[in-house]
Amino acid sequence: MEAKGSISIFVAVLLAIAACSVHAHHASSSCRRKLHCGPSNFIFYMHNTVYNPAVDNREYFNSIYSPPPNVSFPIPRRQGVWLSPSPLEAGARVRSPCAAGYLYPPSGVFPNPFGFGIINTFEDPITVGLSNTSRLLGKAQGFYVLNSFREYTLFHLFTANVTEGKFKGTIDIFGQMREAEPVRYLTVIGGTGAFLGARGLATCTRVEFDSTPPAKWTLSFDLELYY
């Protein structure tokens, strides 16, 4: 009788362990469920155009982005040199919706020859193709900071808000770029919507630059994404 009782207890213990194992496996499987994966490769083009006083309303622009002296909107630089006239002399502004606002010290004086500490906040349209008339995907919103005393380097942080096309959502991109490099590499640190949980590499290339007024430039972003 004692042997039968011991066997019964042993079997009961085994059944209890098996039941716990099944429950744990089910719970673990539900916790490990995969999120929906978005595209592994995504390409867009970012466009910026300098303000043209002949066609843009200065008062309307200032009502949105605020006037100098604390905020100015300079003409872009080519190889580290401001295009003439200088932004502080001309008070040039970047045209909405391709806005880029540069925050200077109240004195309006550059901290050093490489603009260390200058902050640029931008909102640029992004498209599926190189031309700024190609299909619109959304807009890129963020900022960069000039962060070197010895060369033009920029710390970028922005969100690509993709509101059109097959994949909709946001992509967060950040990193440092050297203006002297033709190809720059940034990091994809997150996303929402179709890009939820995205990580990866953003390869940035300046594909177009035109200094003829209104000056304009285009950057391509080739993203390799992992989820």
CA distance 173 to 191: 9
Neighbours of 128 (CB within 10 A): 14
| Segment 74-88 mean pLDDT | 39
More confident residue, 96 or 28: 28
Residue 67 burial (10 A CB sphere; 0-12, 13-18, 19+): middle
Q: Quote the tokens at residue 188.
A: 């994809």
Phi, psi of 24 (to 5 degrees): -65, -40
| pLDDT at position 75 over 50 | no
Q: Which fold has domain 41-226?
A: AOC barrel-like (2.40.480)
Range in 23-32, 61-70, 101-110, 126-135 the model is least confident about: 61-70
CA distance 148 to 158: 20
CA distance 221 to 206: 9
Residue 36 · residue 189 · CB < 8 Å: no
Handedness of CA 92, 104, 140, 202 (dihedral sign): positive
Phi, psi of 206 (to 5 degrees): -80, 110
Percent of the residues in the chain that have a pLDDT greater than 70, as a whole number: 54
* Predicted structure pTM score: 0.64
| pLDDT at position 201 over 50 | yes
